[in-house]
Chain A
């Protein structure tokens, strides 16, 4: 069993991406046998795992929900393994960790899934170890008739004792913690709907990662857009009608068909809309840095008087690359032209003439 186990481990060593690991493990956990294979350290643990497995997947709670925490723990173990334990020497330590995985899982499950039945079983088995972390749950446990893993407890005696002493000494504390954990996982679920691309990721750390990325990209988008607006308007005078603003938020993207009546612009609109979809937030993220650097090199954008640009220039730039440097160039040129055309603006948006150029 051990060489096989090591092989599997090495396979996982090569996978560095944390999310990848989690994905793999959630997939793996679906298949019962492979799940056992992933974390079984040696044959004597088999019993423990089987028992655990039967309890875990006994349909007590949402399968996926259990998966969440088990996947997290397992992947964290292996994440650790890939980063820290490479040599065969440390296999023993790894075994120890996988033992801890079991206890961790049990703790998590009892915390998050309201399943204290297992722990009452452990108590009834008379293990000293379980008392350390289980007795505090007894108050709120419901007795069921499932078999519980025993082997793990003996070997993790010290571990559990330590944990009990440190964190969960009283009933109220553990209850409160459990409530807190439930709340957090509930919020995480809601976040999954909110943040795009979070459906596959289960587990707190990965979710937080995605949230962080999303918030960062949104903030960068705001910066980029404000820079774009700043370069487009030489002055920030928005003497807008109420009707103008109403149109802006009544329809989502094509809110200016009334104002921009030329048919040539509708093609432009389509390109813009498609661009918005094409440029995912990650792509925008990377593009922004290069574009901002390009823009900072432009020292005095507006004050240079310039004659008319060739009309072909605009046609060219209307073909919208995902290359944001083009965007900045175009804004730059347009910004220069605005003072000459301000008197031609009809319609509802009035731009004041630039007085001090």
Chain B
């Protein structure tokens, strides 16, 4: 619980800061744009609160950086001390991309050869084959869900997913508290108006 409360504080600070930054720039935004900004700020804040310790946070930050207009936001949120870490991030992402590419090639070649092999003794292998396929499909889905999951093997994927779940929970809690708070404030103020 200690770590989660710490994470909560970090996340909240960074999120508020990020919102102040990104919304001071533009004035007119419709709901969907605002929503995107809020979510983006929340995501980046969450990832940076992790201080680049986990690879999903690294992946999230690098993805956000690809969009040019987010770069200022990201830099501000990450803070000055993480300049050193940014290089580490870049290096990791490059290696991840290479891994992804090579893994994709491997997968294609493997799947074809496996398919040919498995056609041989279908009945004897069927049970194990189906079990493996179930697990495989689900790990693929999980890889798509967790940011940066494409380049992870099964074991680290689970570890990252664990961490990601924890942080998502923190994010949801903070956002929900804020939303409730603003609602209550609005309601109280509107009721004050009517009184």
Contact = CB atoms under 8 A, between A and B. Distances in A.
B72 interface: no
B178 A184 contact: no
B162 A187 contact: yes
Q: What is the interface residue range for chain A against chain B?
A: 35 or more
Nearest to A357: B28
B185 A314 contact: no
Interface stretch (A26-34, A134-142, A206-214): A206-214
Nearest to A276: B176
Given A96-B124, A184-B158, A301-B31, A222 B8 contact: no
Contacts of B181: 248, 255-256, 259
B124 to A, nearest CB: 4
Contact of A205 (B42, B138, B154, B162): B138
Given A159-B124, A214-B165, A345 B184 contact: no
Contacts of A298: 31
A97 B28 contact: no
Contact of A311 (B12, B125, B128, B194): B194
A282 interface: no
A235 B138 CA distance: 41
A107 to B, nearest CB: 9
Contact of A73 (B22, B42, B127, B164): B127
B185 A349 contact: yes
Given A96-B124, A100-B128, A249-B9, A232 B154 contact: no
Given A232-B179, A237-B20, A314 B161 contact: no
Grouping DSSP codes into helix (H, G, I), strand (E, B) and loop, the A interface class, with mixed when no group exceeds half, is helix
Scoring A93, A215, A301 by chain B CB atoms within 10 A of each residue's CB, the highest score goes to A215
Q: What is the interface residue range for chain B against chain A?
A: 35 or more
Contacts, number: 232
Contact of A235 (B23, B146, B158, B189): B23
B92 interface: no
Contacts of A318: 187
Contacts of A245: 12-13, 16
Contact of B130 (A80, A159, A180, A211): A80
Interface in B155-172: 155, 158-159, 161-162, 164-166, 168-169, 171-172
Nearest to A80: B130
B20 A162 contact: no
A101 B127 contact: yes
Interface in A75-97: 76-77, 79-80, 84, 93, 96-97
Interface in A324-352: 331, 334, 337-338, 340-341, 344-345, 347, 349
A103 B160 CA distance: 33
Interface string A160-197: 00100010000000000000100110011011001100
A17 B16 CA distance: 44
A229 B20 contact: no
B148 to A, nearest CB: 14
Given A104-B128, A308-B194, A341-B189, A215 B145 contact: yes
Interface stretch (A8-16, A51-59, A124-132, A261-269): A261-269
Interface in B117-165: 117, 121, 123-128, 130-131, 134-135, 138-139, 141-142, 145-146, 154-155, 158-159, 161-162, 164-165
B185 A215 contact: no
23 contacts: A97-B123, A100-B126, A159-B121, A162-B121, A205-B138, A215-B168, A216-B145, A218-B171, A218-B172, A222-B42, A223-B35, A225-B172, A230-B38, A245-B16, A255-B181, A260-B185, A264-B191, A265-B184, A301-B31, A308-B193, A338-B186, A341-B189, A356-B27
Given A100-B125, A191-B158, A349-B185, 18 more contacts: A73-B131, A162-B125, A184-B158, A187-B155, A195-B165, A204-B135, A211-B165, A218-B172, A222-B43, A222-B168, A226-B42, A229-B179, A245-B16, A249-B9, A249-B12, A311-B194, A314-B190, A314-B191
Interface of A: 72-73, 76-77, 79-80, 84, 93, 96-97, 100-101, 104, 156, 158-159, 162, 166, 180, 183-184, 187-188, 190-191, 194-195, 204-205, 208-209, 211-212, 214-216, 218-219, 221-223, 225-233, 235-240, 245, 248-249, 252-253, 255-256, 259-260, 262, 264-265, 268-269, 272, 276, 295-296, 298, 300-301, 308, 311, 314, 318, 331, 334, 337-338, 340-341, 344-345, 347, 349, 355-356
